[in-house]
Structure 1
Amino acid sequence: MTQASAAIECTDSFLDDALAVAREAAAAAARIISGYYRDGVEAMLKPDATPVTQADIEAETAIRTVLRRAFPQHAIHGEEQGRDGEGDILWLVDPLDGTKSFVRRNPIFSTQIALMVRGELVLGVSGASEYGETAWARRGGGAFIDGTRVHVADTNDIARAVVSTGNLKSLARGSRWPALGALLCEANRGRGYGDFLHYHLLAAGSVDVVIESDVNILDIAALAVIVREAGGTFTDLDGAELTLDTRSVLAAVPALHGAVSPRFHGWNDVQAA
């Protein structure tokens, strides 16, 4: 059986092997990123006005090298080098999500690697090298942070919930800003942990609801698998399943997702400047 056919069947054995490769790729990226974080690096602006550094570029190259060596027939879509290859098996790679934090020596940035098979996200690795934490999961295998299995909280009342938000600039311009304000008034606590961190906290039971706007699927694909395998629910703000075009997130413990989701239906994504 070829690697490609085994991957399409998506057996537990294949997923275990692919997860091991993804973790190896994340570790390779971490070694590069840590060196630049220690020594400092300047950011350049891409055509879309977002920042990129040499660390981003070299880390993605390292990830692609590891993935290509193990799975030469798989397609890869990376933040810095775009898409390479076609087919039903697609790796989604953001080598350094949180470049703005990285260049300002804020450790809240991460490497995100996910695998999508025929449109379904089946595994993810979220490596936060300078924060000192790595999360991973594969379909049906549970979610782990640094080797410890994690699970979302059993919170079932918004009045007891911790709500974390991210990328609020575009949400503030949209029609659902009042809905977010009302939710935060009802919740026990509102926080803005952002980036990978609030998803790790959700998976570990420390946060109950995460709301974000103006996201890219490369930012959240791995995190979606981790949250789901920890027992959480992960959709966009309209309650729809994730696709390559997803632009918003509502991730929550199951008992609260259903209560929160209708408040945001019909929300129009407005790109932040």
Structure 2
Amino acid sequence: MGRKRLPGIPRSTSQKASSTAKNARAISGIFAPSSECACGRPTRAAKRSPVSSLSTESPTETQAISTTSGPNRRENLGQQAIKIAPSALRGISTTTEWTTKACTGSPNKVSRGKSITTNILVTDRFQCVTPDLAADLELAISMADTADAITMAHFQSLDLVIDTKPDLTPVTEADLQVEQTLRASLSEQRALDSMLGEEFGVTGASNRQWIIDPIDGTKNFVRGVPVWATLIALAIDDEVVLGVVSAPALGRRWWARLGGGAWQSTFGAPATGLRVSSVRSLADASLSYSDSVGWESTLPKLAAATWRQRAYGDFWSHMLVAEGAVDIAVEPADLRPWDVAALIPIVTEAGGQITAIDGTPALRGGSAAASNGLLHEDLLRLLAT
């Protein structure tokens, strides 16, 4: 069945991103955009798409749009990743206008029905103008471009400055520069929002909180191992509604927003939808974890119960769950919100499930257990023994 071509984002909307995103052109050779890319950015008046009869679950391979038409310029992923709306693909009516309201009462939640509306920030003093999630995702992607330019400039550098934090974990000048730069961008473009970052803690007290890990996998970064990423998330009332995971040394990026599906791009190939596996038995499941510290007695039990075990580690384990390449990912201890926030919407929008190992919400649970959803109950039961 032929698919109707969906309109892209007007160039003027992308120009609202921070000017610091221009730095991303330093690594522009990594990503090459197609003329269309599904990412969760709705058009001004999205109408029901001819493909809306397809499943309203997170997009499958048949729902992902790719095209070779248009110029094949080698530009940053942010220009690629903001062009079509999975919400329009899935027949969801949306609005992109920013909404001004008196900031009273509780903030609007994202509707889970046929309409996705703007989220209004609550404050006693201001009339607030707050963008919808698609605009927030566009900003997050732009910030990821900026972060990629900074981190790649430092990666495998012979003069990289490395310090040790009080918890004895390393921090590099790249960690600090990324978080400072992203905070500056948010202060300019989302001045009323709160921020939580690994290196500089919490600022602000809004119900909308941006959560940033400038480099997840700093030890890999320091040693020249390419498995590390910048994690950017937005939580509204402690519910994570969008996440971006950008791993430029791998040439990979994953992103999702609530109700918009989960997506990835590899070295600039057209974006494709993510879907978890359909494995139903632990005995057939592939397990990934970070290390054995903190669950020396439980890991052997889980290893014995599963088909295959590999320590891919950190963010990558969870992204592999979202891709359906791995069925279970577990990090049993010492996780902070910035370690897990961006992972949550990507795994869940791909059809999976992610919680703390005791089944409580993952954001502040101190641990993470991700699965394809079908295995989650059995996984948590085993982890509890």
- Superposition TM-score, scaled by structure 2 size: 0.64
Q: 1:202 aligns with which of 321, 327, 342?
A: 321
Q: 1:37 aligns with which of 148, 155, 174?
A: 155
Return the structure number with greater helix share.
1
Q: Is the 8 A contact 1:162 1:188 kept in 2?
A: yes
Q: Is the 8 A contact 2:352 2:373 kept in 1?
A: yes
Q: Partner of 2:315: helix, strand, or coil?
A: helix
1-side partners of 2:363 and 2:373: how far apart? Answer: 20
Q: Is the 8 A contact 2:335 2:366 kept in 1?
A: yes
Q: Which runs of 5+ in 1 are unaligned?
A: 267-273
Structure 1 residue 189, shift from structure 2 partner: 0.5
Q: Is the 8 A contact 1:44 1:53 kept in 2?
A: yes
What's the counterpart of residue 277 of structure 2?
A: 153
2-side partners of 1:97 and 1:116: how far apart? Answer: 18
Q: Partner of 1:234: helix, strand, or coil?
A: strand
Count, aligned residues: 260
What's the counterpart of residue 375 of structure 2?
A: 256
* CA root-mean-square deviation: 1.9
1:77-88 correspondence to structure 2 within 5 Å: 77-88=196-207
2-side partners of 1:259 and 1:4: how far apart? Answer: 47
Structure 1 residue 2, shift from structure 2 partner: 4.1
Structure 1 residue 3, shift from structure 2 partner: 8.7
Cα deviations by residue, 1:182-203 (Å, 9 ceiling, x for unpaired): 2211211011100111111110
Structure 1 residue 4, shift from structure 2 partner: 9.8
1-side partners of 2:152 and 2:109: how far apart? Answer: 33
What's the counterpart of residue 139 of structure 2?
A: 21
Is the aligned partner of 1:162 residue 2:286?
A: yes
Structure 1 residue 19, shift from structure 2 partner: 0.6
Q: 2:340 aligns with which of 220, 240, 243?
A: 220
Q: Is the 8 A contact 2:351 2:373 kept in 1?
A: yes
Change (3 A) 1:113 1:234: same
Instruction: Give the counterpart letter for 2:357 in structure 1.
Output: L
Is the aligned partner of 1:125 residue 2:244?
A: yes
Change (3 A) 1:56 1:264: same
Change (3 A) 1:86 1:4: farther
Q: Is the 8 A contact 2:156 2:222 kept in 1?
A: no
Is the aligned partner of 1:229 residue 2:229?
A: no
1-side partners of 2:145 and 2:304: how far apart? Answer: 41
Change (3 A) 1:38 1:256: same
Q: 1:89 aligns with which of 208, 212, 232?
A: 208
Higher mean C-alpha displacement, 139-148 vs 7-16: 7-16
Q: Which has the larger radius of gyration?
A: 2
What's the counterpart of residue 9 of structure 1?
A: 108
Instruction: Give the counterpart letter for 1:27 in structure 2.
Output: D
Structure 1 residue 10, shift from structure 2 partner: 4.6
Structure 1 residue 169, shift from structure 2 partner: 1.2
Q: 1:57 aligns with which of 161, 165, 176?
A: 176
2-side partners of 1:150 and 1:67: how far apart? Answer: 28
Instruction: Give the counterpart letter for 2:139 in structure 1.
Output: V
Q: Is the 8 A contact 1:164 1:190 kept in 2?
A: yes
Q: Which runs of 5+ in 2 are unaligned?
A: 1-98, 111-115, 119-131, 266-270
2-side partners of 1:3 and 1:87: how far apart? Answer: 16
1-side partners of 2:301 and 2:171: how far apart? Answer: 36
